[in-house]
Amino acid sequence: MIVKQIMPADGWWAVFICNGLPVMKKVACWVTTSDSTGDNYIVGAVYRNSAFLSPVDEIPNFKFYIYADDENKAYDKAVINIKEGVGV
């Protein structure tokens, strides 16, 4: 992965499913990157193990992104999306 640009991700959360329940991680930034074929894409990065940023698409059980003012609102939105089958 080649990082081309890093942008702020204020208000965005990554939703992971663990034991059937949503787990929220704050998206620290958006990363514009390219893969081995040269295709560009944007991915959210979250803190992993408290010290390292990881692209969410490299973390097991990632499902979708949610925009919300805080973790509780993000969780509530995630539960609704999961019930409706959005992003799952």
pLDDT digits (tens, 9 = 90+) for 8-40: 999 999 999 999 889 999 999 999 998 888 899
Per-residue pLDDT tens for 48-72?
Answer: 877 788 999 899 999 999 999 999 9
pTM (predicted TM-score): 0.86
34's enclosing H/E stretch is: strand 21-34
